[in-house]
Amino acid sequence: MGKGRGPIENIMDTEKDCDLRSICTVSQMANKLSLSRARLYQLINDGVFPPPAYCCLSKKPVYPSRLQEACLEIRKTGIGWKGQLVRFYEHRKKAKPKPEHKEVRAILQKMGLSVTISQVRKASKRLGLSIASEESINGETIRKLFKHFYGDCQKGV
């Protein structure tokens, strides 16, 4: 047994083994449900998910397999522990930044603007600029983006 760890934590060291184990920690249950632990506790207080059981030895909250199944079914069906309807939103995957956007950001930063890749991507979309390849990054593209970020302050650009 590791120093300062209870029997529950030693049993469940790996996440991959926690599909439907005999017991599961609150953190592991939240991970299975694609929720943060804080959000899981909010939903428990609202009666959406069942509260965890408590281990007699460690006094820590755990989810036995029966409650794990109930939580996963609630997430799947959208019908809460007390029968209420619940809507769960899926997480959006962040778009991986394109190297072209990184290059444009680097150019704009060298020109004295502090912009993010996300801002460059949104501005180019708003302005209708195609930054799909390195050939499309030309002086006109950079000028339009610079003017966009600097606004009316630089009319002569």
Domain containing 40 — which CATH number?
1.10.1660.10
Helix extents (H) in 1-157: 7-11, 26-32, 37-45, 65-77, 99-110, 117-127, 139-150
In a domain, 90, yes or no: no
Task: Give how far Cα 98 sits from Cα of 94, 105, 112, 123, Å.
Answer: 12, 11, 22, 14
What does the alpha-carbon distance between residue 108 and residue 146 come to, in Å, rounded to a whole number?
7
**Domain range for residue 138?**
99-154
pTM for the predicted model, two decimal places: 0.49
What does the alpha-carbon distance between residue 7 and residue 27 come to, in Å, rounded to a whole number?
16
How many folded domains does the chain comprise? 2
DSSP class of residue 14 equals: -
pLDDT tens over the chain, length 157 residues: 444 444 444 333 433 344 567 889 999 999 999 899 999 999 999 999 999 999 888 899 999 999 999 999 999 999 999 999 999 887 777 767 778 888 888 988 898 888 888 888 888 888 888 777 666 678 888 888 888 888 745 555 4
